[in-house]
Amino acid sequence: MTATQYQVAYPNPSLRKQDRVCLYTVDSQSDIWYLLFQLYEKYPDHIEDLRRASLWKASGLSKAEASNDSMQNVYDWLLNKCKCEDPEILRSTIVKSFPDGPHDQSLEQVDIVVVTPAIVQAMREGVADELRYIKAREELSRAIKWTLSPSESVRSAAAVKEIVSGPSGPRYGRPSHLFGPPTALFSEPLALLKYDLEHLESFEPDPMTLDRAFELVVGATDFYDGEGKREVALKPILQGLLVGDSQWQMPTAGGTAKQDGIWFKGPFGYLIAELKNEPGLGGDPFLQGLVVYAKIITKNEYASYLGQSNMPIILLAIAGNRLVVSTAVFTNAIYADELLSTKLHLGPHGSDNVLHVARVFMAINRSTERLRKLYENLQRVNRSSPPQAKIMWPNPTADPPGLIDLPELEFFCKVDRADGAELPVIDEDNERHAMYLARMQIGTLTRVVFVKFAAKYHEAAHRLLADQDPPLAPALYFCARVIGDMYMVVMEYIPKSRGQTIFSHFSTPPPQAVSGAVYRDVCKALDLLHERDLVFGDLREGNLLYLPKDGGRVLFIDFDGVGRDGMDRYSACLNPEAGLGVKRRQIMEKAHDRENLRRLMERLSP
């Protein structure tokens, strides 16, 4: 055997910097873990941490960077390895991992990096800019320590309010301001479930699935003396309809509360079923399932994986003869969406109803297969791997799936709805919207772009103004439907240093020259839109960007509200305090834009 020397970095912050990189002699045919035994001998006080270590093949990391006082460089290297590529974790012999041998020692390059839970924790604390969202998420997961059990959480209005209104409560639309972007934007399995539930005609159930669907309809419509007896009756039917292993009446975190059924892949729950005897009696089974989910992700078994997944899950709620299918994810908070609600009954249309139920469960099984694969892969993740901030951000799926290729985007932060600034943390006011910054390859350059997800967007109006010379809107790079009933819009990002909305740029009336530029560009933009019988529909300061360094130009930045003159209507949720002079669901007219231009110029006049 040939003995070779390798530079091994063990960037534990508790070590002196001169002890963090050492030269080790290893036989080429030795198992890679032989290095760990040498580490045990060199660092006897760190054996417990080193027993959970993984060894990463290093590239582009110098000995000086690995032993720097602040450790920032080595933490940045670790983080970039996780973000940009799968880290090459060594699992075999030295010669297989290093067929060409180690780096030239004269280059002072590290060959192997030792990564342990202590190093990961130090990295979380030390890389504030990249991991600030993850740190806030970890703090939230620790805050989800509700004392009420899942069943107690839904038995009174006061209990429901206590659970859902707090900072760690699930966001599902109660109260009205506590909601977020659709869960389908963050998980492909959940997105494809939503799509399948909207296209059930593509499923043709086999006779056994139809038999079980019939049994579920009959069983759900029956009456039971208590929820226990309902569970006894429906449990075997659900176990027959749903693929996978389930556990029933298993204690949640804390050990006292129990829930109905949970389907697991390893330690990870991917489907929760909650049963109630009747709607309204004993509480909402959907919310109870959501509380169970919250308690599951606070279990110790999940702690090491929260930095690697947003923990997608399916929730089934059956109350009497009502079936509800929902989904949930955990990003900066727990978000949930109801996808389907259906009545389980026979009657004159019994055949169609049973077929519908059978198809619903076929769609669910297709989704749970994807979730099982996801959690199977998650189990392979080394627990000492650094957290990945990308779990906080969207992972959209084209609608319909596979029709178009979505651009490759590396999301890295959410922006403030008020002024487009980067958010250091996602506060309650900014949980609801879906506006982000991302990195995108445009030509040969990687650029920061602005990405928004909107239920309605007028691509043609945006492109019309963006294609002018000079432009009257930011460049539009991409616009298409994604699952979640949303448009994904990718446009040029204009930082605050280059331009701000008129609303935020001027605390007092601007100089006359500025007002003149606003009037000039807004008039030109409205003329272009009106020539095509389009109404902008939301002309106010917050939707106009002023660029003082670009010749005092103005850009239109929001095309969600554009509609056809005399045909389309304003939103049913239009804010009466917006000062647009129109009512909810009023027919849109070009004259409204002209009137709002007049009001705008009055507000900008000295």
Q: What is the CATH number of the domain that holds 555?
A: 1.10.510.10
Residues belonging to the chain: 606
Q: Residue 277 CB: number of other CB atoms within 10 A?
A: 19
Q: How confident is the model at residue 36 (pLDDT cuts 50, 70, 90)?
A: confident
Lowest mean pLDDT of 270-274, 282-286, 422-426, name the range.
Answer: 422-426
CA 105 to CA 370: how far, in whole Å?
46
pLDDT at 531: 98
Percent of all residues in the chain with a pLDDT value above 70, rounded to a whole number:
91
Same domain, 417 and 355: no
Kindly report the CATH number assigned to the domain that includes residue 49. Answer: 3.10.20.90
pLDDT at 570: 95
Instruction: Find the domain containing 517 and state its range.
Output: 409-604
pLDDT at 73: 74
Residue 380 pLDDT greater than 90, yes or no: no
Same domain, 239 and 270: yes
Same domain, 487 and 581: yes
Q: Residue 367 CB: number of other CB atoms within 10 A?
A: 27
- Give me the mean pLDDT over the 38-62 stretch: 84
Please check whether residue 402 lies inside any domain of the structure: no
pLDDT at 30: 73
- Tell me the two tokens of residue 363: 């769609």
pLDDT at 381: 73
Among residues 363, 380, 397, which one ends one of the domains? 380
385-436 residue pLDDT tens: 666 768 889 999 999 999 899 999 989 889 988 777 888 788 888 999 999 9
Same domain, 70 and 100: yes
Q: How confident is the model at residue 576 (pLDDT cuts 50, 70, 90)?
A: confident
* Per-chain mean pLDDT for the chain: 87
Same domain, 433 and 580: yes
Lowest mean pLDDT of 175-189, 244-258, 341-355, 419-433, name the range.
Answer: 244-258
Please check whether residue 140 lies inside any domain of the structure: no
Q: How confident is the model at residue 77 (pLDDT cuts 50, 70, 90)?
A: confident
Residue 199 pLDDT greater than 80, yes or no: yes
Residue 332 pLDDT greater than 60, yes or no: yes
pLDDT at 460: 98
Highest mean pLDDT among 7-16, 24-33, 570-579, 590-599: 590-599
pLDDT at 508: 64
3-state SS assignment for residue 200: helix
Q: How confident is the model at residue 68 (pLDDT cuts 50, 70, 90)?
A: confident
Residue 252 pLDDT greater than 70, yes or no: no
Number of domains in the chain: 3
pLDDT at 281: 80
Question: Are 293 and 100 within 8 A, CB to CB?
Answer: no
106 or 509: which leads in pLDDT: 106
CA 72 to CA 87: how far, in whole Å?
18
Please check whether residue 131 lies inside any domain of the structure: no
Q: How confident is the model at residue 86 (pLDDT cuts 50, 70, 90)?
A: low
Residue 326 pLDDT greater than 90, yes or no: yes
474 preceded by a cis bond (ω within 30 of 0) = no
The 3 state secondary structure assigned to 8-56 is EECCCCCCCHHHCEEEEEEECCCECCHHHHHHHHHCHHHHHHHCCCEEE
Same domain, 308 and 432: no
pLDDT at 22: 85
By C-alpha distance, which of 257, 240, 258, 238 is closest to 248?
258
- Give me the mean pLDDT over the 589-602 stretch: 95
Please check whether residue 136 lies inside any domain of the structure: no
Residue 556 pLDDT greater than 90, yes or no: yes
Same domain, 151 and 82: no
Same domain, 330 and 188: yes
- Look at the pTM and tell me if it is higher than 0.75: yes
Please check whether residue 318 lies inside any domain of the structure: yes
CA distances from 303 to 101, 137, 141, 308 (A): 37, 12, 9, 10
- Give me the mean pLDDT over the 210-237 stretch: 95
Same domain, 366 and 449: no
27 or 282: which leads in pLDDT: 282
Same domain, 226 and 349: yes
- Tell me the two tokens of residue 442: 């445009």
Question: Are 491 and 476 within 8 A, CB to CB?
Answer: yes
CA 84 to CA 82: how far, in whole Å?
6
Q: How confident is the model at residue 519 (pLDDT cuts 50, 70, 90)?
A: very high
Same domain, 360 and 227: yes
Same domain, 372 and 423: no
- Give me the mean pLDDT over the 153-161 stretch: 88
pLDDT at 104: 80
DSSP summary character for residue 509: P
Please check whether residue 386 lies inside any domain of the structure: no
Question: Are 493 and 439 within 8 A, CB to CB?
Answer: no
- Give me the mean pLDDT over the 154-167 stretch: 87
506 or 496: which leads in pLDDT: 496
pLDDT at 76: 74
Please check whether residue 275 lies inside any domain of the structure: yes
Please check whether residue 393 lies inside any domain of the structure: no
pLDDT at 83: 56
Among residues 331, 365, 380, which one ends one of the domains? 380
